[in-house]
Amino acid sequence: MIFVDGLPFSTDSSASPQGRDTLVALLEHPALVEASNSFKAIPERRFSVREESVLDTSPRSKWVYLFQREYATVDPALVDFVGTDEATTCIGVAIWNPRNGMTSVAHMDSPNIVDTGLSQMLSLLVDHNTDMELDVHLVGGFEDVSTNVCSRILYFVIDFPEHGNYNTGSESQENLDGYSFPLGAKIVETLWKRPEKFHIRTLCILGHNTRRDPEGNAYPNFNGFMIGTSTGSITPAIFDKTSRCPDEVVRRIRVSVSYEDSSWKGKLLETYDTQTDHFKIAPCCWTLQQLHFALSLQHYSDSEILLMCSTSPSAENPDFVENMRRQWDYLIKHPDWRETFPMKQPRIFERTAEGGWRKPQGADTSISRSRIQSLSAFSSSSTHFRKPHSSSSSFNPISSLRFNFTSSNSSSSSSSSPFTEKASIERYQRDHWLYKNQHSESDQPVPTTCCSLPPDFDSLRENDIALQLPELRNLLQVLREKRQTEGDRGGCGPGNVFLVGTGPGDPELLTMKAYRVIQTADLLLYDRLVSNDVLDLVGSGARLLYVGKTAGYHSRTQEEIHELLLSFAEAGANVVRLKGGDPLVFGRGGEEMDFLRQQGIEVNVIPGITAASGIAANLGIPLTHRGVANSVRFLTGHSRKGGTDPLFVAENAADPDSTLVVYMGLSTLPSLAQKLVHHGLSPNTPAVAVERGTTPQQRMVFAELKDVADEIVSAELVSPTLIIIGKVVALSPLWPYASKEVSCLVEAL
C-alpha cells in the first residue's frame, strides 16, 4: 500500500494500476514534486573518514555504506546513518521505521531483484506487524533514455551459433524506456502490492533527478544519499574511497560476478549483520570468464572502458574507470576465489574505535604456527630423509603431526595450486587460443559491472563450454580442411590418441615416453590433476584444452570427453589425453580406451606414476614390507553414481597386514575410518593424509586412524589428498613417534 502526504494513494487509471501508471502519477503528485525540490536544495554532503576525523569533535558517527546490489538493515542503537552512491541508472531505496528507527537501505539495479529484495529489506524492519507505517525514499535513476548507444552494448546477448546468431537485442522495450523507468515502475508496483503502509517521502528519480545540457544530454543531479537513523531524514551524499566501509574491491567484484551466480538470482547481496554491527560479506565465486574479461578489458583506454562498462558513461563519477581497473587487478592477482573466501566462508569485519574496520581478533582461520611444522629443507622430489627430533624415545600413543613443505604457515587452500585448477591464471594463459576470438563478431567485450545487466548463463559449466565452443569448431574445421587436402594428395587415416599418465605432480616423475609425446603433440586435453609444471613442458605450437573434474564440478562430462577425442582423432590430429597419476588407476582411462577402439581409433597408453607410488616414495613409506604388510590395496572413497558403496569394502579391507591407500577419500574418510575400526582394524593404526603430494605445495598430517579425520579437518587439507593407512606408515622417517611395535617387526626380519 502506498501513501503520499498522509493519504492512501490511488491513480485514476484502474483499481489495480500497473507499476508504470503508478510511477507516472506519483512523479506528478504535488507533494512529491515539492519533496524532490526540497531534497535538491540540500547541499550534497561529501563523506570521507579523513574529514570526519579532522573536523568532527563530536563523538564519531557510525555509518554503513552500500554498493550496487547490496542492502543492509541497521539498528539505530548501533548505526547513525546508512548511505549509498554511484546510483546513476540504479535506484537507492531507503525504508525507515519511525517507531524504532530501524532503517533499511538497498541499491537496486534491476527489476528482477525488487520482489525478493524488498522482502529481504523488510524482514528485520517490520516485526510481523504489517499494519506498520514506514517512510520510503527513492533516489537515483535519472532519465537515461538518451544513453541508448551504451544500452545497445549492454544488452549485447551472446548467442552461440548453434542457438542462432549473435544478437544485439537493442530494440527491446527496456531499451526504449532506459533502465531507470522499468526499475522505478517495478519498485512502486511492488510497494503497492505489499500489505505494509509505505509513505513515500522522497521520489527524486527520473525527471526529478535529471538536468540537461544545451544539446539535450541528460545528467543526474544526485547519485547518492544518506539517511539518518534517529530522524529518518535524507541528505544528498557522496562517499570517497575511505568511507565506503571495508573490502571495497572485493565487494565491487562480487557485484559483477553475482549476475552469473545462480545462488544470487533475484536477491540483494548479503553484506551486513544487523545484530552485531559487523560487515559480513557473503561469499561469491568468480570464474575463468571473469578473469578473461579482466585480462582483456585492462588493455582498453579509459574512455573505451567508460563506454563499454557503464550504462551512463556521461554520468559516472570521475573514479569510475579507476574502480574498474582496481577490480581487474585484484582478479588477475587472485584468480581463485577460494583465496578470498577460504572454505566459502563470509568475510567478517568489525568497527575500530577510529572509525575503520578490521577482521575480528581470532577470526583468522589459518592454522597456528605451533601446530604446523615447516620442513623447508626437505625437497618435494627428493628421497633423502631426515629423522625429525622426537620428544621421547619411549613408545607413546601417537597423537598427530602435520608437515608443511611450503615456507608459509597458512592453509594450502589459500596458497596457489600446483594443479591446473578450474580458474587459474596459468590455465587462462595456456588456453588463451580458445578465448581470444570470443568477440570477433562485434569486437566488443561484454560489460560486466556498474548498473549493467550481463548475460545470464545457467551454470558455470555451460559458461565454460560456451566460451570454448567457437574456437573448437574453428580448430576442427582447420584440421578437416588440412586432412581433405592431404587426402586429395594420397590420403591419410585418422590421427592417434595417446593416453598419457603424468604422475602425481612433480614433472621429474614423468616417463621419458610421456615427456616425448607431450613435447610433440598437436592438441592436448588435460585433467585438473595434471600439474602446471608438467604443462610447462608442452610444445609452444600445441593447443591445450581443459576437461578437468573436481568433486561436484565436471567441466566436461565423460561422454563429451569421448566425443572430443573422437572428433579430433577423426580429423587427423595427434591427440594427447593427459591424466594425473596413472591413466588406468581411477582415471577412467579404460573407458576412454574402450570407446575409441570401438570407433576404430588407435590408442597408445603411456603409464604414469600413480599417486600412491609417488607419494609413498616421497615420504619413505614402503607400501609393502616383509613382515609388516604383505599386500596393498587401492580404494576409492567415492563410487560412481549408482555404483556399489565403496565403504562396503571396509569389511574386507580391515586387515592389519595390508596397506590401504584411499583415493578421492577426503569427504568420506570419517565414515571409512569408523567402519575399518568397527571391522577390527586397530584405532591406533598409523595413517597419513597427503595433500598435493610431490609438489612444492605438499602438506601432510600424520595421525592414528582414530584421529586422522579430525586432523584433516583442522589442517584444512583440500583435494587432491591421498590417505595411506597401515603399519607401514610408521616406517617413514617422518613418522613423528617411534613405535616399538613396528620397530620390533622390522628388526625381527
Ligand X SMILES: O=C(O)CCc1c2[nH]c(c1CC(=O)O)Cc1[nH]c(c(CC(=O)O)c1CCC(=O)O)Cc1[nH]c(c(CC(=O)O)c1CCC(=O)O)Cc1[nH]c(c(CCC(=O)O)c1CC(=O)O)C2
Ligand Y SMILES: C[S@@+](CC[C@H](N)C(=O)[O-])C[C@H]1O[C@@H](n2cnc3c(N)ncnc32)[C@H](O)[C@@H]1O
Comparing every residue's Cβ against ligand Y, the nearest one is: 581
690 is a site residue for ligand Y (CB under 6 A):
yes
Using CA atoms, how far residue 85 sits from 35, 96, 144, 222, 317, in Å, is 20, 18, 17, 8, 10
Q: Give the C-alpha separation, 173 to 410, whole Å.
A: 52
Residue 692 as a binder of ligand Y (CB under 6 A): the answer is: yes
| ω into 335 cis (within 30 of 0) | no
DSSP H/E element including 709 = helix 705-715
CA atoms within 13 A on the CB side of 453: 24
581 near ligand X, judged by CB under 6 A: no
Between 581 and 686, name the residue whose CB sits nearer to ligand Y.
581
* Binding-site partner at residue 182 among ligand X, ligand Y, none, CB < 5 to 8 Å by type: none
Q: Please name the residue that has the C-alpha cell 600413543.
A: 397
Decide: helix, strand or coil at residue 104.
Answer: strand
Nearest to 510 by CA among 476, 479, 536, 540: 536
CA distance 629 to 660: 10
Least spacing, CB of residue 708 vs ligand Y, in Å:
14
Nearest to ligand Y of 610, 658 (CB atom): 610
Q: In the chain, what is the greatest distance between 2 CA atoms, to the nearest angstrom?
A: 100
Q: What, of ligand X, ligand Y, none, does residue 643 touch, CB below 5 to 8 Å by kind?
A: ligand X
Which one of ligand X, ligand Y, none interacts with residue 709, CB within 5 to 8 A by kind?
Answer: none
Half-sphere exposure for 742 (CA within 13 Å, toward CB): 27
Burial 266-302 (b: 16+ CB within 10 A, else e): ebbbbbbebeebbbbbbbbbbbbbbbbbbbbbeebee
Nearer to ligand X, 177 or 691 (CB): 691
Only one of the segments 106-114, 364-372, 578-586, 734-742 lies at the binding site for ligand Y (rule: CB under 6 A); that segment is 578-586
664 tagged catalytic: yes
Task: Look up residue 503 and give its DSSP letter.
Answer: B
Binding at 253: pick from ligand X, ligand Y, none (beta carbon under 5-8 Å per type): none
Q: How many residues bind ligand X (CB under 6 A)?
A: 27
Q: Does 694 bind ligand Y (CB under 6 A)?
A: yes
Q: How far is the CB of 174 from ligand X (least distance, A)?
A: 39
Q: Of ligand X, ligand Y, none, which one does residue 581 interact with (CB within 5 to 8 Å by kind)?
A: ligand Y
Separation between Cα atoms, residue 136 and residue 674, nearest integer Å: 58
The contact pattern for ligand X, residues 672-711, with x = CB under 6 A and - = no contact, is: ----------------------------------------
Q: Binding to ligand Y by residue 585, rule CB under 6 A?
A: yes
Q: Judged by CB under 6 A, does residue 719 bind ligand X?
A: yes
Q: Identify residue 625 by its one-letter amino acid code.
A: H
| Site for ligand X contains 665 (CB under 6 A) | yes
- With binding defined as CB under 6 A, does residue 719 bind ligand Y? yes
180-193 and 114-123 are packed helices; what angle lies between their axes, rounded to 10 degrees? 50
E strand or H helix at 551 = none
Q: Which stretch binds ligand X (CB under 6 A): 185-193, 209-217, 254-262, 550-558?
A: 550-558
Dist CA 85 CA 686 (whole Å): 59
Which of 187, 227, 529, 669 contacts ligand Y by CB under 6 A? 529
Is 549 considered catalytic here?
Answer: yes
Q: Which one of ligand Y, ligand X, none interacts with residue 316, CB within 5 to 8 A by kind?
A: none
Binder of residue 611, out of ligand Y, ligand X, none (CB less than 5 to 8 A by kind): ligand Y
Comparing CB distances to ligand X, the nearer of 385 and 553 is 553
What residue has cell string 578470498?
340
DSSP count for the chain of H helices, then E strands: 24, 33
Select the residue interacting with ligand X from 666, 724, 730, 734 (CB under 6 A): 666
Catalytic residue among 121, 593, 664, 700: 664
Q: Of 548, 572, 693, 726, which one interacts with ligand X (CB under 6 A)?
A: 548
Nearer of residues 586 and 735 to ligand Y, judged by Cβ: 586
By rule CB under 6 A, what count of residues binds ligand Y? 22
Residue 712 near ligand X by CB under 6 A? no
* Site mask for ligand X (CB under 6 A), range 97-136, x = bound: ----------------------------------------
Centre a 10 Å sphere on the Cβ of residue 173 and count the other Cβ atoms it contains.
7
CB 737 within 8 A of CB 390: yes
**According to CB under 6 A, which one of 496, 639, 671, 682 is a site residue for ligand X?**
639
Grid cell locating 563: 566425443
Cβ pair 617, 661 in contact under 8 A? no
Under 8 Å between Cβ of 132 and 122? no
Residue 233 binds ligand X (CB under 6 A): no
605 pairs with which residues across the strands? Answer: 499
Q: What is the C-alpha R_g of the chain?
A: 31
* Touching ligand X, residues 643-662 (CB under 6 A): 643
Identify residues 510-539 at the interface with ligand X (CB under 6 A): 527-529
* Residue 447, all three cell numbers: 560489460
> Of 36-44, 253-261, 584-592, 701-709, which part binds ligand Y (CB under 6 A)?
584-592
291's contact among ligand Y, ligand X, none, with CB below 5 to 8 A by partner kind, is none
Which region, left, alpha or beta, applies to residue 501 given φ > 0 means left and ψ of -120 to 50 means alpha? beta
Binding to ligand Y by residue 412, rule CB under 6 A?
no
Binding test (CB under 6 A) with ligand X, winner from 105, 153, 423, 664: 664
- Cell numbers that stand for 590 in this block: 579404460
Question: For the packed helices 180-193 and 19-28, what is the interaxial angle rounded to 10 degrees?
Answer: 100
Q: Under the criterion CB under 6 A, does residue 693 sit at the interface with ligand Y? A: yes
Q: Which of 587, 608, 614, 686 touches ligand X by CB under 6 A?
A: 587
- Active-site pick, 144, 336, 431, 527: 527
Q: How far is the CB of 507 from ligand Y (least distance, A)?
A: 12
Report helix, strand and coil shares of the chain as percent, to nearest 5.
35, 20, 45
By the 10 Å C-beta count (0-12 exposed, 13-18 middle, 19+ buried), 745 is classed as middle
Query: Out of ligand X, ligand Y, none, which partner does residue 183 contact, by CB within 5 to 8 A per kind?
Result: none
Active site residue 336: no
Q: Do residues 499 and 689 touch, judged by C-beta distance below 8 A?
A: no
636 binds ligand X (CB under 6 A): yes
The one of ligand Y, ligand X, none whose footprint includes residue 335, by CB under 5 to 8 A per kind, is: none
Those residues with Cβ within 8 angstroms of residue 315's Cβ, 6 or more apart along the chain or in another chain: 88, 142, 144, 147, 218, 219, 220, 223
Environment class of 116 (CB within 10 Å of its CB; exposed 0-12, middle 13-18, buried 19+): middle
Of 299-307, 576-584, 598-606, 740-748, which part binds ligand Y (CB under 6 A)? 576-584
The dihedral sign for the CA sequence 608, 560, 552, 462: positive
Would you say 252 or 699 has its CB closer to ligand Y? 699
Answer yes or no whether residue 264 interacts with ligand X by CB under 6 A.
no
Residues of span 649-688 touching ligand Y by CB under 6 A: 663-664
Q: Nine-digit cell at 513?
A: 615416453
Site string for ligand X, 474-513 (x = CB under 6 A): ----------------------------------------
405 is a site residue for ligand Y (CB under 6 A):
no
Rounded to a whole number of angstroms, the distance between the first and last alpha carbons of the chain is 87
528 makes contact, choosing from ligand X, ligand Y, none, with CB < 5 to 8 Å by partner type, with ligand X
Q: Looking at 11, 97, 610, 685, which residue binds ligand Y (CB under 6 A)?
A: 610
Residues lying near ligand X in the complex (CB under 6 A): 527-529, 548-552, 579-580, 586-588, 636-641, 643, 664-667, 719-721
Residues annotated as catalytic are: 527, 549, 664
Residues lying near ligand Y in the complex (CB under 6 A): 504-505, 529, 579-582, 585-587, 610-611, 663-664, 690, 692-694, 719-722
